[in-house]
Amino acid sequence: MRSSVACMIELEGLTKRYGGKLAVDNLTFTVRPGVVTGFLGPNGAGKSTTMRMMLGLDRPTAGDVRIDGRHYDRLTDPLKYIGALLDAKAVHGGRSAHNHLLCLAQSNGIPARRVHEVLDAVGLTAVARKKAKGFSYGMGQRLGIAAALLGDPQILMFDEPVNGLDPEGIHWIRHLMKSLAAQGRTVFVSSHLMSEMALTADHLVVIGQGRLLADTSMAGFIAQNSRSYVRIRTPQRERLLDVLHEAGITAVESGSGVLEIDGGKPERIGELAAQHHIVLHELSPQQASLEEAFMQLTAESVEYHAHTDTPARPWGADWQKGD
């Protein structure tokens, strides 16, 4: 029997450099059993690179990953320890779903009946003898998940599993991940969508530009990052600011005459305004979404900004001036 400590993934100072560019920068964290750990970061943050290094596919420039306390290539029959869905298209299109799983099973000494079991579990039994190239994206994703489940591993890893799935498929995979974790397995799942993680993950590891930004429980992340504030619009802005200042409340202007008060109580502000006969056009309690919190956390580290702040100039505006 393996102890529960044994099915952890431990990263220590994991670093990957491509040429002059740091893709993964000194990552240290531990993925624990019994919960779904979300691996969150914007596109290009280094999530897939990190996962490939966990599976021994890419060599770290520095640092270490250990599965069950051992390096991946020291595992005998690794599919029995860790199952991974990295890329649904990592399948030879000319091979049938059944044969794809059979060759993987044989390489790890897994009995052939497991192939039928996992095909059944992901709902692909009817197309088991069909070539994988005829599969839709969702079916490919299911085949990849079947491969991950093949060795009945204690650790499961999914890279962006809901991408390209229909609502029914998304619902299915969320349920699958939760039930795997409930069985005491280690579940590590990456995503670039905070809203998705909020629905499935119990623990969060957030990275940006390869660096660790947060390693916290989901509940802790929500408590810390969901900013609540009061939003106010008034034609007597200066007067209200004075009144608030006297009362020791700090208001921040957020453009177009709107004031925001962090953690302020709307009742107290409304009463103050009434005492001083100030007209309010709006007084509303607001809650920043987790998505906003995530964007704020990763703001500095997002690699590909859309540059919405600079107005787009007509194409060729510069050279058309002709000087």
Partner 1 sequence: MAATQVIRSEWTKIRSVASTVWTLSLAVVVTLALSMLISALSANEFDKLNAQDRSDFDPTFISFAGMTLGQLAMIVFGVLVVSNEYSSGMIRTSLAAVPQRGTFLFSKVAVATGLALVVGMATSFAAFFLGQAMLGEHRAQLGDTGVLRAVVGGGLYMTLIAMFSMGVAAMLRSPMLGLGILMPFFFLISNILGNVDATRKVGRFLPDQAGSRIMQVVTPVGDDTPYGPWGGLGIMALWVIAALGGGYALLKRRDA
**C-beta closer to partner 1: residue 150 or 194:** 150
Could you tell me the smallest distance in angstroms from the CB atom of residue 214 to partner 1?
28
Cβ distance 199 to 19 under 8 Å? Answer: no
**C-beta closer to partner 1: residue 10 or 202:** 10
Could you tell me the smallest distance in angstroms from the CB atom of residue 108 to partner 1?
6
3-state secondary structure of 18: strand
Cβ-count burial 150-167 (b if 16+ within 10 Å, e if not): bbebbbbbbbbbbeebee
Q: Which amino acid is at 115?
A: V
**C-beta closer to partner 1: residue 150 or 232:** 150
**C-beta closer to partner 1: residue 140 or 264:** 140
Could you tell me the smallest distance in angstroms from the CB atom of residue 127 to partner 1?
15
Could you tell me the smallest distance in angstroms from the CB atom of residue 94 to partner 1?
5
Could you tell me the smallest distance in angstroms from the CB atom of residue 49 to partner 1?
9
**C-beta closer to partner 1: residue 115 or 213:** 115
3-state secondary structure of 186: strand
Q: Which amino acid is at 229?
A: Y
**C-beta closer to partner 1: residue 9 or 91:** 91
Could you tell me the smallest distance in angstroms from the CB atom of residue 173 to partner 1?
19
Catalog residues that contact partner 1 under the rule CB under 8 A: 52, 55-59, 72-73, 75-79, 84, 86-87, 89-96, 99, 102-104, 106-109, 147
Q: Which amino acid is at 188?
A: F
Cβ-count burial 207-237 (b if 16+ within 10 Å, e if not): bbbbbbbbbbebeebeeebeeebbbbebeeb
3-state secondary structure of 133: helix
Q: What is the DSSP string of 228-258?
A: EEEEEE-S-HHHHHHHHHHTT---EE-STTE
